[in-house]
Amino acid sequence: MLRGFGLGATALAMCFTVGCGGSDKPPAEGGLTLNIGTALDPPDGKACTIKSHYASLGSVPPSATTKGKPVVDGEGGRVSCSASGGSTVTFGGSISKGTVSFRIFDGQVPKDGVGTALIQEKDPDSGTQLETPADSPCTVDVSKEELRANDDTIWAELVCPALISKDQPSLFCAVSSGILLLQNCD
């Protein structure tokens, strides 16, 4: 009986000394800036009736040249993301803090190129959840020097030609420019 206890105590001591297989990976982080406003060519009978505005997440939102100060998961906000692939990265994720929430999904982008994704966004100025229709995805661009897509990070420019609302069928807006940062992804 004592022999089993001794081995168990040794294993427990080793866990504290060298670790027990837990992850030392930092928590997921995310930042966002979206310029939401009028779409270039809305369908007949539809318009962007919300005021043009910037939706942002992060105490300093990201730009095309700096990551800013993103939201850190568990530190006043929620961030989750996944990214995987070889020459083309498949990704998705979400960021929320306070009254602003953002989700990106069905994302695919070549590591140094231009791809697509779908988004959902809600903020106080929009007043409703906006989303891209499946037949009109956002453009995800990582071709510029600082931007990137890999198994850990998505730092990209976003342009979404159409944002609609299921709650307001006549609403039709767009993201004319945006920057997304998701890092420390699974």
Query: Rounded CA gap, 63 and 3, in Å?
Result: 60
Q: Is the residue at 36 inside a domain? A: yes
CA dihedral (70, 128, 164, 141) in degrees, to 10, reads 0
**pLDDT at 34 (0 to 100):** 97
Radius of gyration of the chain (CA): 21
Is residue 4 within a helix (H) or strand (E), and if so which, with residue range? helix 2-18
How confident is the chain (186 residues) per 10-residue block, as mean pLDDT? 46 43 84 96 95 96 96 97 96 97 98 97 94 97 95 97 96 97 97
Q: Is the residue at 7 inside a domain? A: no
Full domain range(s) for residue 31: 22-183
Q: Is the residue at 151 inside a domain? A: yes
Grouping H, G, I as helix, E, B as strand and the rest as coil, residue 8 is helix
In total, how many domains does the chain have?
1
Q: What is the length of the chain?
A: 186
pTM for the predicted model, two decimal places: 0.86
**pLDDT at 22 (0 to 100):** 56
Q: Is the residue at 6 inside a domain? A: no
Is residue 161 within a helix (H) or strand (E), and if so which, with residue range? strand 154-164
**pLDDT at 24 (0 to 100):** 87
**pLDDT at 13 (0 to 100):** 43
Q: Is the residue at 3 inside a domain? A: no
Q: Is the residue at 72 inside a domain? A: yes
Q: Is the residue at 146 inside a domain? A: yes
Grouping H, G, I as helix, E, B as strand and the rest as coil, residue 15 is helix
